A = this chain, B = another copy of it.
Amino acid sequence: MQKYNDTTYAILGILTTHCHSGYEIKQFIDNSLNHFWKISYGQIYPTLKRLEEEGLATIQTSSQEGKPDRKEYFLTEKGKEVLKGWLEQPLKQLPVERNEVLLKLFFGRHQTKKQSILLLEDYKQKLEKLYQAYEAIEEGIACHSNNHSDAKYWMFTLDYGKRVTEAAIAWCEATIKEL
């Protein structure tokens, strides 16, 4: 069986929602799974092309006056099976989250105490903004798609983001004190 990368599976998954064009997929990513899976146009369009070539999706092109043709992709039965097959597999190993702040702090001996504190305060501030962004998305989902069958799962992922961000903020505060 052919293998695909996780970005391909993400796109396969998004095609099961109301999104069917490359543009819509990008929009969807940017305001829902952006915190744990970013994808650029440079990946989306070639991937969609490949999905069609390999029989995982079909294209429906609709011409629009004054605009480029709008290409809508729909999963085939094979596409749905491939997605389900991936969903069933547990992850092989935990990914390593590359963290630039930790990397800098790791070599903190070569910095002044003030610089380390500045680094952590800046990080904390960015984390707080992220936390607020999570809350905003959460409210958006709660309002607009309360009865949506996907909403429950989207909330779970937001809850993860909030909990982990909260822990990171607490670490910033504790570390600043100890420095």
For residue A45, CB closer than 8 A to chain B, the reply is: no
Does A37 count as interface, using CB distance less than 8 angstroms? yes
B104–A87 touching, CB < 8 Å? yes
Within residues 158 to 173 of chain A, which ones have a CB less than 8 A from any CB in chain B? 159-160, 163-164, 166-168, 170-171
Interface residues of A in 132-174 (CB under 8 A from B): 149-150, 152-154, 156-157, 159-160, 163-164, 166-168, 170-171, 174
The listed residue with most B CB atoms (<10 A of its CB), out of A86, A93, A108, is A108
Q: How far is the CA of A7 from the CA of B95 in the complex (A)?
A: 17
Closest chain-B Cβ to A99's Cβ sits at a distance in Å of 4
Tell which of A18-26, A56-64, A117-125 binds the partner. A117-125
Q: Is the CB of A87 within 8 A of B110?
A: yes
For the complex, give the distance between the alpha carbons of A94 and B172 in Å: 14
Question: How long is the Cα–Cα vector from A108 to B110 in the complex, in angstroms?
Answer: 46
Give the copy number. Answer: 2
Beta-carbon contact of A163 and B159 below 8 Å = no
Q: Enumerate 26 A-B pairs (CB-CB under 8 Å) in ascending A order.
A: A13-B103, A16-B107, A33-B102, A33-B103, A33-B106, A34-B96, A36-B99, A36-B103, A37-B102, A38-B98, A80-B110, A83-B107, A84-B111, A87-B110, A91-B100, A91-B126, A106-B154, A108-B156, A109-B150, A159-B175, A160-B171, A160-B175, A163-B170, A163-B171, A164-B171, A167-B167
Question: Other CB < 8 Å A-B pairs besides A6-B103, A87-B111, 13 of them?
Answer: A16-B107, A34-B96, A35-B96, A36-B97, A36-B98, A37-B98, A80-B110, A87-B110, A91-B101, A156-B175, A159-B174, A164-B171, A166-B167
